Structure 1
Amino acid sequence: MPAVTRERALEAAVELLGAEGVRALSHARVDERAGLPAGSTSNWFRTRRALLSGIVDWIAERERADLEPGAMPTISGIDELIEGMCVMADLQTGPFAARTRARYALFLELADDPELGEPLRRQRREFERWTERIVIALGIADPVPATRALMALGDGLLLHRLTVDPELDMRPAIARAVRALAS
């Protein structure tokens, strides 16, 4: 049962961060959002820093699970890359929107804290390596800058959809960028 309480607290903390930002994060607010007795979150995470660390690790673990073999589509062509990026963007701005917002909030909040932000940055680097392997396999020239361009495009489109235009059709921009890089 205790692990279930910890998991509920972390899920609620990510939802809170995703909905209201880092300033809204407190042990009491997490307990309330998770429907836990007062003090439950602080039993697992004594300080705000410990809570932030737990959240960072939780997000990184979830995203690692997203990258496990079998969880990610096999991409062997340009059209599959476009489709894969679109599906991933829909997931990140749909079912995983709170997690995406929380991740961005934490990247900004922890920019000057190398230790606490490292699990998120390490996860980001793993996703970049996965994307670069695809770019190389597809024969796209200059794979490192091409990968960085695709990652930046993805971040920009996600941020735009999450903050400005929830109905944004990302497919045309993704298709145009991927086809331009592949030509």
Structure 2
Amino acid sequence: MASTRERALHAAVDEVADHGIRALTHTRVDRRAGLPPGSTSNWFRTRSALLAGLVEHIAASERTTAPTRAAEQITSPDALVDTLTATIEALTGEHARRTRVRLTLFLDAAHDDELLAPLHEQRAAFVTWTTALLAQVGARHPAEAARTLLACGNGLVFHRLTVDPEAPVRPVVERAVRACLD
């Protein structure tokens, strides 16, 4: 069974996913999690602490559920396309609520580097991973290609979350990967 802290964090994700960042309060999280009043504030004394806990929770959740394959398994452009397609489909499918919350946090807390540090660290690790994979599959300029590929992927994630949840992923990823190899 999940700890009180974990229940509160899962409820915080759901609260923000359903009602936006301004709805995030200790009382609403307690109620949503089915916790006694004051339980969330025992773990997160202030709203800022609750937001920081939520940011770290999102980052940790994404690290543990990313459907990426080990780098040594990605030895061809097709394997890279498969991995990135699976990642985007997971972010906009089974993990869409969490992805929406991450994007909300990025936008709402854009002025707070300390709050966003866990998400920025995760992003930097993903950039490094993508750059290495692009080099491994033959990109001539892997760092530039990684920036391009990640921008394309971010756009596709945003499009699927806001406009067309069924937008095809693989054809877009395949074109982007092929372009990044030139």
- The interval holding the TM-score normalised by the smaller chain is over 0.9
How many Å apart are 1:66 and its aligned residue?
3.8
TM-score normalised to structure 1 length: 0.92
Q: What SS does structure 1 have at the residue aligned with 2:75?
A: coil
Report the alpha carbon displacement of residue 40 of structure 1 after superposing the two structures with TM.
Answer: 1.1
Identity across aligned pairs (percent)? 51
State the partner residue of 1:86: 85
Render the CA deviation track for 1:28-70: whole Å, top value 9, x for unaligned: 1111221212211111111100000101111111223246xxx
| Cα pair 1:19 1:101 within 8 Å, conserved | no
Aligned to 2:165: 166
Q: Check conservation: 2:81, 2:170, Cα contact below 8 A.
A: yes
In the alignment, what sits opposite 1:121?
Answer: 120
Contact kept in structure 1, 2:149 and 2:180, CA below 8 Å: no
Aligned residues: CA RMSD: 1.5
* Correspondence for 1:72 among 68, 71, 95: 68
Contact 2:68 2:87 in 1 (8 A): no
In the alignment, the residues of structure 1 paired with residue 62 and residue 126 of structure 2 have an alpha-carbon distance, to the nearest angstrom, of: 9
SS in 2 for 1:112: coil
Q: TM-score, normalised by structure 2?
A: 0.93
Q: State the Cα distance separating 1:106 from its structure 2 match.
A: 0.6
Does the CA-based 8 Å contact 1:18-1:102 persist in structure 2? yes
CA distance in 1, matches of 2:12, 2:94: 16
Equivalences for 1:23-42 in 2 at 5 Å? 23-42=22-41
Opposite residue 103 of structure 2, the aligned amino acid is Y
1:14 offset after TM fit, Å? 1.2
Q: Is structure 2 residue 101 aligned with structure 1 residue 111?
A: no
Aligned equivalents of 2:20, 2:140: Cα separation in 1: 39
Aligned residues of 2:15 and 2:23 also touching (Cα < 8 A): yes
Aligned residue pairs total: 179
User: 1 CA distance for matches of 2:119 and 2:45?
Assistant: 21
Q: CA deviation at 1:171?
A: 1.4
Deviating 4+ runs (over 6 angstroms): none
1:66-108 deviation digits (Å, cap 9, x = unpaired): 46xxx63131111111111111111101111111011101111
SS at structure 1 position matched to 2:164: coil
SS of equivalent residue, structure 1 residue 38: coil
| Structure 2 letter corresponding to 1:55 | L
Query: Gaps spanning 5+ residues in structure 2: where?
Result: none
8 Å CA contact retained: 2:131, 2:143:
yes
